[in-house]
Amino acid sequence: MTESFTKCSFDVIVVSRFLDRTLSDAIIGALKADGLLFYQTFTQEKVSQQRPNNPDYLLGCGELLELFSPLRVVFYRENALIGEHHRGLRNEARFVGQERK
């Protein structure tokens, strides 16, 4: 699947509630210079048993920062135990990073 990412093709990439750790390098490579990545997905630490529950699809603490460490961090927040659950602000991590080529 990583071969389907064209190098330096996107100004913006958005990933929401999806996790495939093997794609992180391909996603970074697909960003143009100064391109932005917006990524949010579920965390292992959570206040409800909302799905998914499979640890393969749940982020560890600070994991998005590790997966996308080559990018400059613009914004990062983990809302595992804080935020308003009824507004969808718990059980997730959010990351915005910028490619600095």
- Could you read off the pLDDT of 36-68 as tens digits, one per residue? 999 999 888 766 666 677 888 899 999 999 999
Long-range contacts of 51-58 (CB under 8 A, 24+ apart): 56/19, 57/19, 58/19
In a 3-state reduction of DSSP, which class is residue 22? helix
Residue 70 in this model has a pLDDT that exceeds 90: yes
Instruction: Specify the pTM.
Output: 0.85
> Mean per-residue pLDDT for 17-30?
95
> Mean per-residue pLDDT for 26-38?
97
Peptide bond into 55 cis (omega under 30): no
Does the domain formed by 2-98 have CATH 3.40.50.150?
yes
